[in-house]
Structure 1
Amino acid sequence: MENQAFAVTMYPRLIAEKIHACFWSNHPGLIFGVLGWWGTLGNAFGVTSIPGMSSGITLPQALSNTRKDGIGALLREGTASYLNSLVNHKFPYTTSQVRDQFAASITSNKAAAAQAQLFKMANEGRTKPNF
């Protein structure tokens, strides 16, 4: 309950600021506050498999993964984009777009790296909103 109260007081800040993947991994209680549950990659993105990982890993685990390849970057930046799209109506991607682009790019390391870079730019506020 305390985490949810903290999350509610943080929403205006989340909407106003550029939220990087490291913010979400440093504030895992906010994920619970936003979703009401920890969530898994499989549930969040509708994927049944992730190369070299279980689709059952939690969102905090995805954010803090230490893989150095494109898949690892996609897990971090895609998860941050997913959460940002839920709390910020001005985020450049809708939640559906994040889910679809994540699922489409998880098929190869090269595609994952390219999409991770796009998500990173959005998370850092370097992409214009899609209104």
Structure 2
Amino acid sequence: MLRIKHINALNRFALRYGYGWRRRLLEALTKGTPLPGRTSERDVVLLRELHALTGEGIIETFVPVREGYTKLVYLRKDHIERYNDDRNWFVNAWRLVDQRGSDVLIPWVRTKTEAREKAKDANVYVIED
């Protein structure tokens, strides 16, 4: 199960090694070359677990942030009811939820872009299903 500690280990690695960190990390995880010496043993274990759980997808799309991430959330599509005096209708809405499906950030938003911006402002890492 992917946890925030895996994401923050990846974030620390990316910030520590800067330019070329993806190439260096993927080479170490796929070809078996050793990780750079300044990487802590705890982070090495977490990075290997991350690669085993998710493959290369998260590593290739990851964007590091200086502050680190506080939560891990999933972006889910849902429907919300709108109404006026004449009629009711349903529109798409995007939710940021935790592993149990509970809302992490409220209110729901109308577009994926809004949801990503809201998550960035709240300093949470988003996994899109």
Smaller-chain TM-score bracket: under 0.3
Q: Structure 2 length normalisation: TM-score?
A: 0.28
Question: Which of the pair has more CA radius of gyration?
Answer: 2
Q: Structure 1 length normalisation: TM-score?
A: 0.28
User: Which structure would you say has the larger RCO, counting Cα contacts within 8 Å and 6 or more residues apart?
Assistant: 1
Between Structure 1 and Structure 2, which shows a larger proportion of strand residues?
Answer: 2
